[in-house]
Amino acid sequence: MMKNGDVTAIFGEKVFNLPTMRERLPEATYEAFLKTINEGTKLDYSVAEVMATAMKDWAIENGCTHYTHWFQPMTGLTAEKHDSFIQPTQDRTVIMEFSAKELVMGEPDASSFPSGGLRATFEARGYTAWDPTSFAFIKDHSLYIPTSFVSYTGEVLDKKTPLLRSEVAIDKAAKRVLKLFGKSPSRVVTYVGAEQEYFLVDKKLRNKRKDLLLTGRTLFGAKPAKGQEMDDHYFGQLKERVAAFMKEVDEELWKLGVFSKTKHNEAAPAQHEVAPVFSTANIASDHNQITMEILKKVANHHDLYCLLHEKPYEGINGSGKHNNWSIGTSDGENLLKPGKKPAENVQFLLFFAAVIKAVDDYSDILRVSVATAGNDHRLGAHEAPPAIVSMYLGDQLTEVVTQLINGGGVKYEEGELIETGVETLPDIERDTTDRNRTSPFAFTGNRFEFRAPGSRQSIGGINIVLNTIVAQTLTEFADILDCSRNIAKDALELAIKTFKEHQRILFNGNGYSDEWVKEAERRGLLNLETTPDAMPYFKSEKSVKLFEAQGVFSRIEVETRGEIMMQEYNNTLHFEMLTMLEMANQEILPACLKYTKSVAKGVIAKKELGIDAPNEIAMVQKLTALTEELMDRIAVLDNATNVPELDPYATGMYYKNTVIPAMEALRTTADTLETIVGKDYWPFPTYTDLLYSI
């Protein structure tokens, strides 16, 4: 626990970060290492040797007995296998050792991680390789070393390696464009700030629900009397238990070097958000994984459970992960900063146009990047953002783009003041971009905010796609402009031409209105409502060409990755279906039968006494009819468990068209029963219990 409010005293204390390295490494080693992380140069083996010993000594001093290569397999979770530092000696004692080889490379048995058939089971070897750009850290008495995970033949099996490749792609493409403007920064990187939403629930109550336990979301549950209609939770006062939880989360994250910055209550009851200060995409991705782990772990300390699922409760807002994304140079220039006069800032306009073109050209792949079974409950359901990919540029940039398209000049409303009307408060300068909360992809002043990602997703996959598609359009721009003799004029013309050609992707209205669905269709924009609808686009020829051209995925990597993602959807639905059946058969049905019986008994007893109870008789009839319906619907879903043997994509369609409707039907009946069966008889906590328990 922190003694006072000084975060600097604990920040990064569990990280083998630069200050610790400077203190513990010989100067030459430190300088060589800095060059690697700042300029992307290859790391010398001798550096790794010195590094390994220094890391080990530091880890042991801080209580570690083990180290682990920490990687991110295609499950979207992280994986770790711990080895102790011990090394037996001649005299049958041990010494603590950690070699360069152990730091640089690991060889976990990879056969149990999804590979889409890439790695035949007889060739179970996978390799983990140290990512020096993401610092090692300490958790639970182990030294965690962030690593990539690849197969014996070099194909990637994880989310980090392609993210690093996509960073290389954007670096290369952006530098080509910048060179035309006479600039040559040593590196161009993408920055990401991921706002993480989550729900908290009382752990004891959560453990009483098989659905929450096994699938992370409620598969049953009638609407509570009070939902989020009152709008009283967003930015509301933090409850004591929640505040104590958040305080510990912050402290843990700071110790692990995560720039945790913002915390608040979200729109739904028991929903919250935590956001860090942005960092480079790779680090942001590692840190987001750490954040999700810490949220879970710390919740446990407070008898809470953290639900990271995209839609824990039906009828209540789901959780997303806003991915704030920008491109910047090693010289500190944000390439998406419009400046005071964006219409005259040709370099900005070109990068801006590149993003617009990328999102329009590859909206299908961008949609795939956020397609999961959990996220299907948000996108395409009546909740922001919609499944249709469109962009919102904000008032000022919309004006700029419109004027440029129409060939007019641009008016500026610089630094317009909003009067607060209160004497003692300073007037605040109005943001040049207003908010459109319904837009899936919004420009917010100096970055784009991709709002479609699901709360439980790794942001690795999302930023691989974002980086790659923008690298692709920047490459195309560089190809066109390479032989330009008047870059200012030619680049401006290219930007304007791009704005004209991609106007259809720009939309400032209400993203979840029915009119937009129609309008988007008229514009020829895709509306891929579910994962099985979206996923085939990933393996299209266009997609393969894109990833190959940018050196991010090979053809086989695209194909296997598509299958893995599809398989994950199918597995999720399969578990949900089975869990639902178990709850219906073993818990809900017996409760309904028992309650009906007790009401019926009362009716019989009254009849013996000659008392008329017509309403109770009607109730028994109603309960019986609904219970019969419940049993019919259980039978339908039970029948659906005979999943035909098809390829993963066709199987996905089966889940969408056959299983999901059967699950929804069963839920409707069960939820109706919940509202009339006595509370004491209902077998598990209700929405009101779960949402208002803390």
Which residues are at the interface with ligand ADP (CB under 6 A)?
191-193, 195, 262, 275-278, 324-326, 334, 446-447
Closest to ligand ADP by CB, 281 vs 640, is 281
Closest contact distance (angstroms) between CB of 265 and Mg ion is 11
Residue type, 416: E
Q: Is the dihedral of CA 594, 596, 599, 600 positive or negative?
A: negative
Q: How far is the CB of 142 from ligand ADP (least distance, A)?
A: 28
User: Which option in Mg ion, ligand ADP, none does residue 155 bind, with CB closer than 5 to 8 A by kind?
Assistant: none
Segment 61-80, which members bind Mg ion (CB under 5 A)? none
Nearest approach, Cβ of residue 275 and ligand ADP (Å): 4
Torsion, Cα of 243, 248, 250, 254 (10° steps): 160
Could you tell me which residues come within 8 angstroms of residue 571 by beta carbon, excluding any fewer than 6 positions away? none
Q: Which residues pair with 320 in a beta bridge?
A: 454
Q: Measured from the CB of residue 660, what is the shortest distance to ligand ADP in angstroms?
A: 32
Q: Out of ligand ADP, Mg ion, none, which partner does residue 134 contact, by CB within 5 to 8 A per kind?
A: none
**If contact means CB under 5 to 8 A according to the sort of partner, which of ligand ADP, Mg ion, none does residue 276 touch?**
ligand ADP
Q: Both tokens of residue 10?
A: 């604990």
* Smallest separation, CB 513 to ligand ADP (Å): 22
Distance CA(544)–CA(195), nearest Å, equals 30
Q: State the binding partner of 387 from Mg ion, ligand ADP, none, CB within 5 to 8 A by kind.
A: none
User: Toward Mg ion, which CB reaches closer, 195 or 399?
Assistant: 195
Shortest CB 309 distance to Mg ion, Å? 19
326 contacts which partner out of ligand ADP, Mg ion, none, CB within 5 to 8 A by kind? ligand ADP
Residue count, binding to Mg ion (CB under 5 A): 1
Residue 323 CB, nearest approach to Mg ion (Å): 12
Nearest approach in angstroms of CB 127 to Mg ion is: 38
User: What is the C-alpha to C-alpha distance for residues 439 and 449, in angstroms, rounded to an integer?
Assistant: 9
Closest to 285 (Cα-Cα) out of 148, 160, 143? 160
CA distance linking residue 530 with residue 368, whole number of Å: 10
Smallest gap from Cβ 284 to ligand ADP, in A, equals 8
Give the whole-angstrom CA distance, residue 8 versus residue 291. Answer: 19
Distances (CA, A) of 543 to 173, 467, 548, 554: 18, 14, 9, 11
Helix boundaries (H) for 362-486: 363-368, 394-406, 459-481
Comparison of 160 and 321: residue with beta carbon closer to Mg ion: 321
Sign for the CA dihedral angle at 233, 239, 244, 247 comes to: positive
Q: Determine, following the binding rule CB under 5 A, whether residue 576 of this chain makes contact with Mg ion.
A: no
Residue 604, both tokens? 């019989």
Contact 382, 438 (CB under 8 A): no
Extract the runs of DSSP E, i.e. beta strands, from 432-550: 441-443, 448-450
| Comparison of 17 and 334: residue with beta carbon closer to ligand ADP | 334
Q: Which CB, 326 or 530, lies closer to ligand ADP?
A: 326
Distances (CA, A) of 533 to 371, 457, 519, 528, 655: 9, 19, 20, 6, 12
572 interacts with, out of ligand ADP, Mg ion, none, CB within 5 to 8 A per kind:
none
**Token couple for 286:** 């590692």
Q: For residues 233, 238, 242 and 244, what is the CA-based torsion angle, rounded to 10 degrees?
A: 170
For ligand ADP, which is the closer residue by CB, 224 or 342?
A: 342
User: What is the residue whose two structure tokens read 């905010």?
Assistant: 449
User: Which residue, judged by CB position, is nearest to Mg ion in the bound state?
Assistant: 195
**Least distance in Å: CB of 471 to ligand ADP?**
17
The smaller minimum CB distance to Mg ion, of residues 195 and 310, is found at 195
Q: Which residue is nearest to ligand ADP (CB)?
A: 193
Among Mg ion, ligand ADP, none, residue 428 binds (CB under 5-8 Å by kind): none
Residues in contact with Mg ion, shown as a per-residue x/- string from 171 to 210 under the rule CB under 5 A: ------------------------x---------------
- Bridge partners, residue 329, by sequence: 188
Residues in the chain, how many? Answer: 694
Smaller CB distance to ligand ADP: residue 370 or 662? 370
Determine the Cα–Cα distance for residues 469 and 463; give it in Å rounded to an integer.
Answer: 10
Work out whether strand 142-151 and strand 66-70 pair parallel, antiparallel, or are unpaired: parallel
For ligand ADP, the closer of residues 192 and 270 by Cβ is: 192
Judged by beta carbon, residue 378 or residue 667, the one nearer ligand ADP is: 378
Q: Write down the least CB distance from residue 37 to ligand ADP, Å.
A: 19
Which entry of ligand ADP, Mg ion, none binds 114, CB below 5 to 8 A by partner kind?
Answer: none
By beta-carbon proximity to ligand ADP, the closer residue of 80 and 333 is: 333
Q: Distance between CA 640 and CA 223 in Å, rounded?
A: 26
Residue ranges that bind Mg ion, judged by CB under 5 A: 195
